[in-house]
Amino acid sequence: MATEAKQAVTRTGAAKAEPGRQSLKSAATRARLIDATIRCIVQHGYANTVTPMVAAEAGLSRGAMLHHFVSGDALIRATIVELHERRLKAFRRASQANLGDVRSMVRDYWQQLQKPGFIAFQELAMAARTDAALAEILLPLQSEFTQRFQALAGQLYPDWVQESERLSLAMALSQILMEGIQIASLTGAMDKQLVEPLLDFLEMSVVALRPGQGNDSTMSNEQ
């Protein structure tokens, strides 16, 4: 088991400054531990993810694990960074693929939310609410993500930038609604039959918020 090691070096970015080093095996093991952590969080929840569990999932002893990560906290911290980088990477990829197509953008982000990374991130985000140490790491990343989300939108829809308020609204609506649907699905508060209609409605709403698309009834009651 665990034969996918080479490319892991670049993934964690934790290797020494020198490129080809003797212990790139170390980086592979670190990556294996982080992957195991994500899997455990998804499967058992963050609260129930304990160090022996992660070590077993990674096929390592607890001692070996604490050799690579000084403490359980350090592991979690590295996992968060890894998740954030994956999030951004998937983002860059998406921004190159579909240019200006609302439908693709919605479906792309929806696909993103199906991956285990989102579940793990959501678990951590909820935990951070009552864990100051976690919040200190997570909150800045949340802000950075939302910010890049907006920046990407401005890049994909240049004609939209003038109406920045509507652009922000459309992006926030997309992010919040889709993540809300996914969370509700995870917690059993969502009728699966309504998912597609909701996504369709979201698409329509985003299109309607785009300038020069007719339909100017938005926020008719505010200024």
The site for a second copy (CB under 8 A) is made up of 43-48, 122-123, 125-131, 135, 138-139, 142-143, 145-146, 165, 168-169, 172-173, 175-177, 179-181, 183-184, 186-191, 194, 196-198, 200-201, 203-205, 208, 215, 217-222
Query: Under a CB-based contact definition with an 8 Å cutoff, are residues 38 and 79 in contact?
Result: yes
CB 170 to a second copy: min, Å? 9
**Helices and strands per DSSP (H, E), number in the chain:** 10, 0
Residue 78 or 134: the one with the smaller Cβ distance to a second copy is 134
Residues 131-170, one symbol each (x = binds DNA by CB under 7 A, - = not), give: ----------------------------------------
Q: Kindly state whether residue 13 participates in binding DNA, applying the rule CB under 7 A.
A: no
Task: Bin 219: left if φ > 0, else alpha if -120 < ψ < 50, else beta.
Answer: left
Amino acid at 22: Q
CB 71 to DNA: min, Å? 4
Amino acid at 187: T
Choose which of 5, 26, 85, 110 interacts with DNA (CB under 7 A).
26
- Whole-angstrom distance, CA of residue 118 vs CA of residue 183: 10
CB 29 to DNA: min, Å? 4
Amino acid at 16: K
Closest by CA position to 142, among listed 97, 93, 105, 176: 176
